């Protein structure tokens, strides 16, 4: 009786129907030998499942040719699919089904019998061929070995997958199982599904395994590089934290911001600021300590505090004026100008008796080249004070004098504060050159800005727009220069003591040329002092015929021109020193006289 029962057991593959209800799938193809749940929510697919369950429970799973098919027809399907048995159906609350299927065998669609949904097709079930040769057995071992290597280095392969792969006893099913778990393109998986020759199928799968192994090697190398970078950054972080802890124990600044804050705090404490200045600077310092170093305001505030600490806030030391020394300095630097020297010495004598230079503003007026700038330098040298010169000729923006407000990008203090930063003392000599050539524009009137600077009643608390703090500039000795007084505004002119520098007479020009200009010009030309000499008549002729002016600027240019020509003749061996120049020689070097 038992033998009769065993003879009646027939494999499911042998009784598969030749007509199947087709369920299109858009993701990846299903392979035989798989038991898996499938969610069914589409109305057409629900109708197909209900029709299959009402008959024999068999369906055909066929991959669509493209993934974006909404309602598939027979033309949208591949010709090879997988027959599956519906083992269980679970109804879902939304009206869909969760079915458990067991895929059985490949099939090829011979003809579409019903094109409307559900699609019904006449099919031909496909058998595996060439699955018993020695080559197939060797390929089977290779596939299992290669897959073990992949699964060991990949967490996506579970232990259950590894056991299933080892327990499959058919070469074709091993190839199908491996294809289903590898990350392969849907078209390549469909190609494997359509290959009934087991040897060819396993060759295709082996190629994909090799490709997967190469990708894993690349991934592993990239991951290793990333891990090295992470480890390096973590190591640097821990070392920096240890260094910070060590610096804290030693009382040292722990980072660049802390170092800047400590440096600025110490420098500000040494300034001994008082009143409004101290209160405002302390506020800025605390704000700086709370700022993020990456913020734009951080750099602005640091530059502001750097400007504060670089200014000379301490009271200047009082120096005694040596009138005799001042006289000797003026005499050594300038020939003639006796009335000018007397006026300067009188000015210095009064300041010495008062022991105060506050409110001292001199304006040197004279034609170009008479030595206004050099007289200013000599005054600074006679007093033993620092000298700073800046020109206001053509200046049209008052911010050049009083600075820019900190709300502007790239704001900076004005010329007065910049000069004090450079000289590092509160009682220097400031020369304001070309004060008669100040301009006016829509950006402001610089001459009006100078009123506060040059007014003794106001400059004790001068406020630069950038600093926005009172700063005493009354100890500065201001010396202005101008060629004429006509273009200087009267309020500005009223604040200055005018000293006029007249032109030089011929005898003074000859003496200045002999003592100062000729040695300086010869040195610039690379000629020795004794290699070129002039007669007194030649020097007078240069003054009258070629450089007839109040000053000495064009006279010096004429000397430079003569000495360049002499240098050329020496280099080209046309003549050799010494040279003694008289009136007839001048025309050869300077050409025809300009003034006849």
Q: In the prediction, which pLDDT does 157 show? A: 59
Compute the distance between CA of residue 473 and CA of residue 420 in angstroms, rounded to an integer.
Answer: 9
Rounded alpha-carbon distances, angstroms, from residue 506 to 341, 509, 520, 537, 580? 19, 5, 20, 11, 21
Q: CB-based burial of residue 382 (10 Å sphere; 0-12 exposed, 13-18 middle, 19+ buried)? A: buried
Q: Which two tokens stand for residue 34?
A: 């798989």
Helices 296-309 and 256-271 sit at what angle, rounded to 10 degrees? 30
Q: Please, are residues 470 and 276 in contact by the beta-carbon 8 Å criterion?
A: yes
In sequence order, what are the beta bridge partners of 282? none
- Any residues with CB less than 8 A from the CB of 76 and at least 6 apart, and which? 24, 64, 65, 66, 69
Q: Please, are residues 455 and 492 in contact by the beta-carbon 8 Å criterion?
A: no
Dihedral (CA of 276, 278, 284, 287) sign: negative
Compute the distance between CA of residue 211 and CA of residue 215 in angstroms, rounded to an integer.
Answer: 6
Q: In the prediction, which pLDDT does 388 show? A: 92
- CA-wise closest residue to 467 among 207, 273, 315: 273
Residue in this structure with the two tokens 């100040």, named with its chain if needed: 438
Query: How many CA within 13 A on the CB side of residue 126?
Result: 22
Q: Which two tokens stand for residue 17?
A: 């129907």
Task: Read off the DSSP letter of residue 316.
Answer: P
> What pTM was estimated for this model as a whole?
0.55
Q: Which domains does the chain have, with CATH numbers?
A: 11-125 (2.30.130.40), 128-252 (1.20.58.1480), 256-309 (no CATH), 323-500 (3.40.50.300), 506-590 (1.10.8.60)
Q: What's the full length of the chain, in residues?
A: 596
Rounded alpha-carbon distances, angstroms, from residue 439 to 443, 487, 495, 541, 582? 10, 10, 19, 39, 46
Profile the chain (596 residues) by mean pLDDT over runs of 10 residues: 46 72 88 87 85 88 86 85 91 87 91 84 89 82 77 61 66 82 85 88 86 83 84 80 74 64 84 87 87 82 89 82 81 76 80 69 85 84 86 83 85 90 88 85 76 82 88 87 87 85 82 88 89 90 87 88 91 87 88 82
Compute the distance between CA of residue 447 and CA of residue 480 in angstroms, rounded to an integer.
Answer: 12
- CA-wise closest residue to 371 among 228, 240, 481, 489: 481
Q: In the prediction, which pLDDT does 166 show? A: 61
Q: Which two tokens stand for residue 133?
A: 């040769």
Q: Please, are residues 94 and 41 in contact by the beta-carbon 8 Å criterion?
A: yes
Compute the distance between CA of residue 145 and CA of residue 590 in angstroms, rounded to an integer.
Answer: 103
Q: In the prediction, which pLDDT does 4 show? A: 45
Q: In the prediction, which pLDDT does 251 show? A: 66
Q: Please, are residues 533 and 557 in contact by the beta-carbon 8 Å criterion?
A: no
Distance of CA 265 to the CA centre of its chain: 29
Q: In the prediction, which pLDDT does 206 show? A: 86
Compute the distance between CA of residue 503 and CA of residue 30 in angstroms, rounded to an integer.
Answer: 110
Dihedral (CA of 333, 338, 342, 343) sign: negative
Q: In the prediction, which pLDDT does 2 show? A: 44
Rounded alpha-carbon distances, angstroms, from residue 384 to 253, 318, 344? 41, 11, 15
Q: In the prediction, which pLDDT does 163 show? A: 62
Rounded to 5°, angle at Cα 104 from 196 and 152? 75
Compute the distance between CA of residue 193 and CA of residue 294 in angstroms, rounded to an integer.
Answer: 59
Rounded alpha-carbon distances, angstroms, from residue 169 to 106, 163, 401? 18, 12, 96
Q: Which two tokens stand for residue 559?
A: 């000397």
Compute the distance between CA of residue 452 and CA of residue 275 in angstroms, rounded to an integer.
Answer: 22
């Amino acid at each position: 009786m038992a033998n009769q029962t065993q003879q009646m057991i027939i494999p499911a593959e042998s009784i598969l129907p030749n007509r199947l209800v087709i369920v299109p799938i858009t993701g990846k193809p299903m392979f035989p030998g798989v038991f898996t749940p499938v969610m069914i929510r589409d109305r057409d697919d629900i109708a197909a499942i209900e029709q299959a369950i009402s008959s024999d429970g068999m369906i055909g799973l066929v991959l669509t040719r493209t993934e974006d098919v909404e309602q598939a027809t027979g033309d949208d399907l591949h010709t090879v699919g997988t027959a599956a048995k519906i083992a269980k159906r679970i109804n879902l609350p939304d009206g869909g089904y969760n079915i458990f299927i067991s895929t059985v065998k490949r099939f090829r669609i011979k003809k579409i019998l019903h094109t409307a949904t559900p699609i019904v097709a006449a099919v031909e079930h496909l058998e595996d061929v060439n699955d018993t040769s020695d080559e197939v057995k060797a390929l089977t071992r290779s596939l299992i070995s290669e897959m073990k290597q992949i699964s060991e280095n990949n967490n996506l392969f579970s232990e259950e997958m590894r056991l299933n792969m080892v327990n499959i006893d058919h070469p074709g099913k091993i190839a199908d199982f491996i294809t289903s778990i590898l990350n392969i393109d849907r078209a390549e998986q469909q190609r494997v599904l359509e290959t009934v020759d087991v040897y060819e199928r396993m060759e295709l799968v082996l190629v994909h395994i090799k490709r997967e192994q190469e990708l894993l090697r690349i991934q592993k190398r990239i991951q290793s590089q990333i891990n090295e970078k992470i480890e390096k950054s973590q190591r640097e972080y821990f070392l920096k934290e240890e260094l910070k802890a060590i610096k804290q124990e030693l009382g040292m600044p722990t980072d660049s911001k802390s170092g800047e804050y400590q440096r600025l705090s110490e420098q500000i404490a040494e300034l001994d600021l008082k009143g409004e200045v101290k209160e405002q600077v302390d506020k800025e310092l605390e704000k700086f300590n709370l700022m993020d170093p990456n913020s734009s305001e951080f750099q602005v505030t640091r530059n502001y505090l750097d400007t504060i600490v670089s200014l000379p806030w301490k009271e200047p030391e009082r120096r005694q004026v040596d009138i005799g020394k001042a006289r000797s300095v003026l005499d050594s630097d300038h020939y003639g100008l006796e009335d000018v020297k007397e006026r300067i010495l009188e000015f210095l004598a009064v300041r010495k008796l008062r022991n105060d230079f506050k409110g001292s503003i001199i304006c040197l007026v004279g034609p170009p080249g008479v030595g206004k700038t050099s007289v200013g330098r000599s005054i600074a040298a006679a007093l033993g004070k620092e000298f700073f010169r800046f020109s206001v000729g053509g200046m049209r923006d008052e911010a050049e004098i009083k600075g820019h407000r900190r709300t502007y990008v790239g704001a900076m203090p004005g010329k007065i504060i910049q000069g004090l930063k450079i000289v590092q003392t509160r009682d220097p000599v400031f020369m304001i050159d070309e004060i008669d050539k100040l301009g006016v524009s829509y950006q402001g009137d610089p001459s009006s800005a100078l009123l506060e600077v040059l007014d003794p009643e106001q400059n004790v608390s001068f406020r630069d727009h950038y600093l926005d703090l009172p700063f005493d500039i009354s100890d500065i000795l201001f010396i202005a220069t101008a060629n004429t007084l006509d273009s200087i505004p009267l309020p500005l002119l009223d604040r200055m003591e005018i000293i006029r520098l007249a032109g030089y007479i011929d005898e003074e020009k000859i003496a200045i040329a002999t003592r100062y200009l000729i040695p300086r010009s010869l040195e610039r030309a690379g000629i020795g002092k004794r290699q070129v000499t002039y007669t007194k008549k030649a020097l007078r002729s240069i003054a009258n015929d070629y450089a007839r002016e109040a000053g000495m600027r064009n006279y010096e240019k004429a000397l430079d021109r003569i000495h360049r020509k002499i240098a050329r003749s020496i280099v080209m061996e046309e003549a050799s020193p010494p040279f003694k120049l008289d009136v007839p020689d001048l025309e050869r070097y300077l050409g025809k006289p300009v003034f006849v």
